[in-house]
Amino acid sequence: MNAATTNGSRWIRRVFPRWKTATRWPKMLLLILGCMTIAGCSGEIETEYGRRQGASTSVNGTAVLGGMFERAGHRVFSWRKLSPKLNQRADCIVWFPDDFDQPSEDVCRWLESWLMEQPGRTLIYVGRDFDAEGWYWDQVEADAPSEQLARIRRKKAEANTEFQRVRQGAAKPEDGPWFTVDNTYRPRKVRTLDGDPRWLEGVDPAKVEMELNGRITEPFWSDVLLESEGDALVTREEFGESQLIVVANGSFLLNASLVNHEHRKLAGKLIDEVGPPSQTVVFLESGRSGPTISEKDPSAAVPTGMEILTVSPICWIFLQFAVVGVLFCFSRWPIFGLPRQLPADAPSDFGKHIRAVAELLGRSRDRAYAMARVLNYQQTTKPPE
């Protein structure tokens, strides 16, 4: 590592000024180390989008938000399909779709039926139109040394180009049952906030680092919880005695974004909207084609082979055993310097014969027998008087 690591550490301290609770560090430790690595050492960052498990260190992951739900007193797990278990167990579904288009009609009907089946349920839908990788490189660039700037700017340009590539083809306004989405690229930074006073309380809009690219237009009957210059950021729509909360994008909810203290405040207010603790919160993890609807629950098979080494806490236990094993090898079989030829044993050394006979007698574990053999030897080899 070089001087850039020190600058990376300074950036970490700057974006984590109030992140002091010890229990919060485990879920962010690898993310912090990743930031330091990219700022000063060779390596790449993880960018997998919208997943809580298996991508806890991704800048686009949701592990940190899931941890905030857990600290608020909720039970959290991840799920891949719209299946019977999800319908029965979930009190709140958090969905970060990796898709710029509207949810399909079948998916909307399933989720609406789930909302209406029991009172007090919450569906949180977070629009896809944001990628944290470019935002991440912006943060690293601010404190990077001059010799690292060219590489960081190249990485940022590549991230922004890839983001534009994946959002192509979804630029036309599209009406849906929940909202109208317009993916026309109109980027702007969000530095002003308006909306429900509960959401604005204690939040400094000048310090938020949210972004808008496309726009989501909510139905006129929806409640606007948070907006900026007339653009909706968070809205709520009632479904019977349940609710649908739509978030424009994940620019204040993804792993990397939550290093901003104001973003964590807003995430906390979103969690408050779910209701009192002890609810079952499910992170619905779907790919580009959206979640599938199934009459059977996905299998919960235990990972096998090398996959199990990526699951926490097994990965940490394995890492500790690996370190201990390496230290044992160095202490047990050290080799210092060049190898050399040891002197060969002399076959004429009578002392070795005596030691060999003594070892054989010792293995018999019979003291009387051993003494008898020694006495017999002495009598046999005694010289004549």
CATH code where residue 227 lies: 3.40.50
Q: What is the pLDDT of residue 13?
A: 44
**Could you give the number of structural domains in the chain?**
1
Q: How many Å is the Cα radius of gyration of the chain?
A: 32
Which range of 22-36, 151-165, 191-205, 333-347 scores highest in mean pLDDT? It is 191-205
**Domain assignment of residue 194, yes or no:** yes
**Domain assignment of residue 4, yes or no:** no
**Domain assignment of residue 192, yes or no:** yes
Dump pLDDT digits (tens) for 300-344. Answer: 544 555 656 666 667 778 888 888 888 888 777 777 677 777 777
Q: What is the pLDDT of residue 185?
A: 87
- Top pLDDT among 299 and 139 is at 139
Q: What is the pLDDT of residue 42?
A: 41
Rounded distance between C-alpha atoms, residue 255 and residue 146, angstroms: 27
What average pLDDT does the segment 208-214 reach? Answer: 93
Dump pLDDT digits (tens) for 56-93. Answer: 789 999 999 999 999 999 999 999 899 999 999 999 99
Dump pLDDT digits (tens) for 136-159. Answer: 998 888 888 888 899 999 999 999
Q: How confident is the model at residue 24 (pLDDT cuts 50, 70, 90)?
A: very low
Does residue 34 have a pLDDT over 70?
A: no
Q: What is the pLDDT of residue 151?
A: 92
Q: What is the pLDDT of residue 4?
A: 41
Q: How confident is the model at residue 15 (pLDDT cuts 50, 70, 90)?
A: very low
Dump pLDDT digits (tens) for 234-269. Answer: 999 999 999 999 999 999 999 999 999 999 999 999
**Domain assignment of residue 321, yes or no:** no
Contact present, 239 and 221 (Cβ < 8 Å): no
Tell me which residue range forms the domain holding 279: 46-136+157-295
Q: What is the pLDDT of residue 321?
A: 86
**Domain assignment of residue 363, yes or no:** no
Does residue 174 have a pLDDT over 80?
A: no
Average pLDDT, the chain: 82
**Domain assignment of residue 232, yes or no:** yes
**Domain assignment of residue 35, yes or no:** no
Does residue 95 have a pLDDT over 70?
A: yes
**Domain assignment of residue 8, yes or no:** no
